[in-house]
Each structure stands twice: as C-alpha cells, then as structure tokens.
Amino acid sequence: MSGQSVGVVESQRAHFDQPLHLRSGGVLPAYDLVYETYGTLNAAKSNAILVCHALSGHHHVAGHYADQPDNIGWWDNIVGPGRPLDTDRFFIVGLNNLGGCHGSTGPSTLNPATGKPWGADFPIVAVNDWVHAQARLADRLGIDSWAAVMGGSLGGMQALRWSITFPQRVRNAIVIAAAPKLSAQNIAFNDVARQAILTDPDFHGGNYYEHNTRPVRGLRLARMLGHITYLSDDQMGEKFGRELRNSSFAFDFDVEFEVESYLRYQGDKFAGYFDANTYLLMTKALDYFDPSREDNGNLTATMARTRANFLIVSFATDWRFSPARSKEIVAALLANGRNVSYADINLNFGHDSFLMEDAHYHGVVGAFLRNIKP
Amino acid sequence: MTHTLGRPDFDLIAGWIEPGHRVLDLGCGDGTLLKHLIETRGVQGWGVEIDDANILAAIRNGINVIQGNLEKGLDEFADQAFDHVVLSRTLQTVRHTEGILREMLRVGREAVVSFPNFAYWKNLRSVLDGRMPVSEDLPYQWYDSPNVRFFTLLDFEDLCAQMGLIVRERHVLDEDGNLVDRTENRDVNFLGSLAVYRLTRAR
C-alpha cells in the first residue's frame, strides 16, 4: 500500500439547534452530527474535501482510535499522507449522516420530546436533506466551498446532489460507482430488503428498542441480499464456486456451500451492530434519489445548474450501478460543456470495487486531486 | 523544420481552430494535442481514450478525458456539441471507418482527420523490397501494429465523396514534416507521408 495511514484519530460531535426542514415535510428541531477530520485546514479554508458515506458507512473514514487499534476507517486505503486523499495537502471531513446509527441523530438516539428512542417517529430523510445538514457542518467549520466533495455509491449521489444544490460551494465533485437515480431493479432489491425487516416479528413497528429486542433476522436477510448485489458473478464464482464445506452433499438445509457460509457470516456480523431503522431509511433515501425530478426527468437541465469540475468513475463488473448509469451522468455534463473526466475501471469486485485498493483506480483519483489547487 | 511537440500535424490542426472553440479529440492519448490547443488557442477540450494508461496520463495532464471505445460510437455526445472533432493518426486503427466518420460529423461541425498515407513512396519501395513499411508515420512492426485499415490519400478521398463529405482543406506532409507543394493528386499521393484533412457535411 502506498503512502501512510493517518494513524490515531478522534471523532467529534457538533450540535445544531436550528430546525432542519426535510424533503418529506418532517422537521428535525435539533440534531447532532458526529464527524472526523484528517489533515489541517489551511488559513484560506480552501483545502477541504468532504467524503460522503454509502449505505452502511459512517464518519470513521480513516485511521484508528487510540483505544481501538483494530477499528480502522472504512476507506483508510485512500486517505493519508502520500495517498490519493493526501492529508499533507487536504483537510478531509467525514461524517455520519442523519438517520445513521453511529452517533449522529437517528432512529436509535433519544428523541428529546419523549425521552425515548426516536424509533418509528424518526422522519424519512432524503439525500438532499443530508446535503443541507452537511452544509451546516461546513458553515460550522468555516468552509465556504469544498475543494472537493466525493463518495462511492450512495456517497457519490451525495456528491452529485451537492454540485446541484450548492454549485458555488463545490469546486470539484468525484462521483464513484453511482447513478443519477435508481432503476426499477435497484428499487426492487431495496424493497425485498425492507420487507425482510418490516415483517420480522421483532420489528414492533420500528419501536423495538422499547421491547428490548432487535429485528435481527430481518436485518440479516436484508444484508445477505444486499451483499449479493455488491459482488460480481465472476468474483463469487472464483471465490466460492460450488465448493462444499464438507466433501459430500448432506441433503439438508444447513450450511453446505461455501457461498452460503460466507453470506450467513456477513449477515450475522452486520445484524449484530447495525440498526434496522437506519437500514430502512438509507434504502428509502436511495429510492427517492432523483435530482432530475425537479426538471421533469431532464438530467441535462438539472446538471446545467452545476459549476464543479467532475470526475466520474465506474467499475466494469458493477451490475448494481453499472458503467452505463455513470455514463448518463457524463452525458448530461458533456451536454452542458462541463469539465468532466470519466474512467471505467476494470476491477473484479462488482459494486464493492470502489472500496478496494487498486493502483490504477487510486492513480486516477489521486491524479485528479493533485491537479486541484487549494 | 521544428514543430510543436515534434508533431507537424498539431500545428496545422491548431491553425484551423479558433479561440474559445469546443474541441473533441478522439483517441487523445495523454492529451498532448488538447493541452497544446488549450494553452495556445484557449479552446475548451475533451478527449476520448480507451487505454487505461492514457486515461491516467490525460487526467494527470489536467485534460478532460472520457473513457470509451470509438468502435462503439459516441453515444455520450450530443448532436453538434463541438466546433471541431479531431481524429489524429487514429482512423487507421478503427475498424468501423464509415461509422466513426459519420459520428464525428454528427457531434461536430467540422472533422479534422490525419492519417499515414500508405502510398507514400518510401512505403511503396519498402513493399517492393519485400518488407512492410516502418517509418516516422508508421512506427510499428507488422506484428505489433494497432493499425487495422491500410489506405491511401486517394482511397480516403473516394470514401469522403461516397459518403457526401466535403473536403474543406487538405495538407499533406512528407516524412520530415514539410508540406508537399504539388498540385497533381497523383504526385501528392506519392510524396505525402501524412495527410491532414478538414471535413464538413454537405450543406
């Protein structure tokens, strides 16, 4: 791995008293955002990069905590001195979005009005709501405009939304493994995942906290399903094939194939720490995401509002948000004469490729960032 | 004679492009031509490249580059989005010759095409000597050449006529990058190593 890790990091918390009016019509009277920063904000406050997280991500993007050396940030391989998001040049900000379950205000945090967890009362949040909340964090940090806003998957959609909602505040946008809106198939997968959670008897209409239980079975199924869509068919074939855990068929319903074992492990692990209400909210944010809706579906008209320079990245084996979906964004930017580069990276890890360390992929992101003058 | 970046066709192409024009360079490599046009002519430029190493090099050069395969057309680009669409020393590497020429003039007002002329006398002599030509403008061995179409200046002009494309200007260079100063087409075809054309659709 080139470059170095940022090493020991600490998370911070910002409280906001100004009510946030949400796309759904709901209002959050006050809220907390937890975030982390790496590197040093320069005097002009012009070298800041916002890293937006995907469905299950959070504010702990890079480094590790002093008391938890094994708790390494989810995108550690791209952040640090000498890495593409070079902390010797840039000030990197990562946060946990509203509705999350890693410290920011969400369904599992206490609702001050009732003294109980928000649960089912937590309002539906949209990508644009996150962007507005993130803008308030930027105000708090004194950052007028980001050198770059970036992310993969749902994180890439936030970067795209930033460039549309706050064109003057985003100088560069890096949109990785994303799409301008979900397809029917994407929404269908999300709905099956939600149904798994909603029909779990332990869900209790979203207020499972009061019943001292969690819809672990539903969340586990949702994650197993999601996980299949993050990987490529080839990769699963190479990794597991039809390998059996034992040498012969058992003719029962226990774990037999290695791929079953892997998926169940991933499902159990995720269900052990993630909040089901947050999962529901994140998938709805994905489903609702469609900035072109404001322009009757005309993405070119929507992208006319942007001012940023763009780097769009897709992965050849990603079938969840395929290269064709990234090209829709590229085409809309080109039609407006925007500065845009597009790389289709040949990595074998499907949608999850965006988290992988690869010399060419990181080379492309690093080269784009090196040309940014803070 | 010295030429910009050692590429005599670059100077000719730059001469046809006006400040502020939108330029699309197909097969842009590391973006050298676009960088030159941006710096000297103040154009807005985008490139198309298929090769990973060139994508990385072009981004490093600060050039807008779109990864794509010219054989599959230019779907990402809208009709008449560019003033000039450049195909520099690349036409001979593209299998769908007519397709790419049509696409160039769909997305651009003018097409600028340069290619090595296989009828250049040194190339002909090479073949008469029993060897495939290797020269300044055809710098590959037969077994590692990216070229898939072998044609001459006269062949190209026949195709343009057949497709209803208008040749607005033509410059032909010898191997040293000097203009071939002849009027007879047959002479030009014999003495020219590299041809540079400016094409439009019939109006």
With an 8 Å Cβ cutoff, is A358 touching chain B? no
What local confidence, expressed as pLDDT, does residue B27 receive? 96
Query: Searching chain B, which residue's CA lies closest to the CA of residue A342?
Result: B66
Distance between CA A165 and CA A169 in Å, rounded? 9
pLDDT class of B8 with cuts at 50, 70, 90: confident
Instruction: Indicate if the pLDDT at residue A280 is higher than 50.
Output: yes
Distance between CA A297 and CA A305 in Å, rounded? 14
Distance from A300 to chain B by nearest Cα, in Å?
A: 11
What local confidence, expressed as pLDDT, does residue B4 receive? 60
**Interchain contact, B59 vs A343, CB within 8 Å:** yes
Of A91, A124, A154, A179, nearest to A369 (Cα)? A91
The one-letter code for the residue type at B129 is D
**Interchain contact, B59 vs A327, CB within 8 Å:** no
Among B22, B67, B76, beta carbon nearest to A337: B22
Contacts of A340 in chain B (CB under 8 A): 46, 64, 66
The model's pLDDT over B113-137, given as tens digits with 9 standing for 90+, comes to 999 999 999 999 999 999 999 988 8
**Interchain contact, B65 vs A341, CB within 8 Å:** yes
pLDDT class of B1 with cuts at 50, 70, 90: very low
Q: Which residue has the tokens 């040293």?
A: B176
Tell me the catalytic residues of A.
Answer: 153, 318, 351
Query: Searching chain B, which residue's CA lies closest to the CA of residue A312?
Result: B66
Distance between CA A36 and CA A219 in Å, rounded? 27
Instruction: Indicate if the pLDDT at residue B106 is higher than 60.
Output: yes
Residues 60-89, chain B, touching A (beta carbon < 8 A): 60, 62-68, 75-78, 81
Residues 291-320, chain A, touching B (beta carbon < 8 A): 311
Instruction: Indicate if the pLDDT at residue B2 is higher than 70.
Output: no
Host H or E run for residue B165:
strand B165-173
Distance between CA A172 and CA A141 in Å, rounded? 19
Structure tokens given for B173: 């260079």
- Mean local confidence (pLDDT), A339-353: 97
Among A331, A339, A363, beta carbon nearest to B56: A363
pLDDT class of B3 with cuts at 50, 70, 90: low
Q: Which residue has the tokens 């489903």?
A: A287
Structure tokens given for B171: 């410059």
Query: How much of chain B is helix, strand and coil, in % rounded to 5?
Result: 35, 25, 40
Distance from B36 to chain A by nearest Cα, in Å?
A: 17
The model's pLDDT over B135-182, given as tens digits with 9 standing for 90+, comes to 888 999 999 999 999 999 999 999 999 999 999 999 999 999 999 999
- Mean local confidence (pLDDT), B70-75: 94
pTM above 0.80, yes or no: yes
Is the C-alpha dihedral spanning A151, A63, A273, A228 positive or negative? positive
Strand partners, A201: none
